[in-house]
Amino acid sequence: MKKFNIDKLTCRFYEKELEQEFLSYRWDKIWNNIKILLYFDIIIGMVIRFDDIFIQGAGKAPYYLAYHLFSIVVMLLFIFTSNENKKKYHQYYFLIQSIGFMNCGALTYYFSDIIFPVGAGVLPILCMLYLIVYPFHFINAIIAVIGTSVPFSIVVLSEGNMTIDQLAYLLCIPAIFLIVNKRSREIDFRRDFFQNKKLESNRQLMQKTLKRYFGETLTEKILDNQGDLKGDNIWVSILFTDIALYSTIIEHMSPETAVQFLNEYFSAMHDVIDEHEGQIINYIGDSVMVVFGAPEKIENHEIVSVKCAIKMREKLDELNEKWNENEFSRYWKNHGIDKITARTGVHTGGVIAGNIGSDRMLQYSTIGDTVNVASRLEQANKEFSTSILFSHEIYSSLTKDLYDKANYQGEISLKGRDQKTKVYDI
């Protein structure tokens, strides 16, 4: 995001789009205040008009009545226009009302014999009204102060209610202090908006980055728990998948081509894994480790994991067709490999799942015998010339449609286990 860059004279962002964004943001903050201001402005305006016309007698002049009739029409149009138009034109409306109202009244009293009923003490109030109370932008606030205080001062001076040297105390000094304050507030408002926008941009970038590294489910879990995911003993299904003959395939690829190949493969597999609510724990070279049932619990994760493995195999078949069509497959076909295949191992059991690592670097992972068995099953596909192998624990949990399609392949010995493990493919 760009640096805070503001016009010191107008107190506006140099970037017009950023300024418009700020004004829209600011409008939501000041709209309620504008409604209150309108109510008071209408009531006080009507009281002054009544006093001018029926008590002071100064408001009977045709130009006075003509202006105020016009003013009332403009006020009604503004009140009943849409909120979008109010947001767009409120600065002009308040400028016209304030400057026009004061000039019309001042000129009416100046060209008549009637004594102006307001004293010089109102000058600081005018400054405060337009530099603090009214929602003017910086330059518009200064215009409003000049446009109202100058005719007011002329009338008061002409009637002898104020001497010229008193202008410094009643107008100039208060106006200078209030203008400096107004300028500071306008810049501070924009600085706060810019910083909040930057923080929000960084927050979104952080969340987007977290999702890319950890996936949506795990990211939400991390944020909800403020990064503290303690280890839990839970029953899950673990899936390992690995590209067959990977080293041979990428041996004849440039680094850029190998990265392109892996990214396309992983992206396709990720879509399938997400579809089955799996959580990718790690990418290790061309291998992917997936857990079903953590960090969010899912029902029948044993069945879901097998369905995911089958869908991943189908997706890889689709990728092979695509690579054949665009001739990307030449990188392995020219070296005697007909198509890309993958080996997958699936096992279910208890694991410890949570943040694992040092106090300076953590990684969400699962550890335990179940993980080791799933990894060994993936490798065992070489022995049985299969693409998907799963354990007896998975087999005994399958629904009839999957159970009937499963084939018993035999038994394998696993390190750390006394009894052999029955394995099945599908």
Residue 128 is predicted with a pLDDT of 94
Residue 89 is predicted with a pLDDT of 92
Dump pLDDT digits (tens) for 225-250: 656 656 678 899 999 999 998 988 88
Per-residue pLDDT for 358 more than 70? no
Q: What is the DSSP string of 40-70?
A: HHHHHHHHHHHIIIIII-GGGSHHHHHHHHH
Residue 232 is predicted with a pLDDT of 73
**177, 184 in Cβ contact below 8 A?**
no
Residue 316 is predicted with a pLDDT of 95
Which alpha helices (DSSP H) does 129-172 contain, by range? 138-158, 167
Q: So where are the chain's domains? A: 6-206, 215-425
Dump pLDDT digits (tens) for 17-69: 999 999 999 998 899 888 888 888 888 888 888 888 877 777 677 878 888 88
Q: How far is CA 129 from CA 37, 48, 72, 319, 374, in A?
A: 11, 16, 21, 70, 75
**425, 387 in Cβ contact below 8 A?**
yes
Which CATH superfamily groups domain 215-425? Nucleotide cyclase, GGDEF domain (3.30.70.1230)
Nearest to 186 by CA among 35, 32, 8, 24: 8
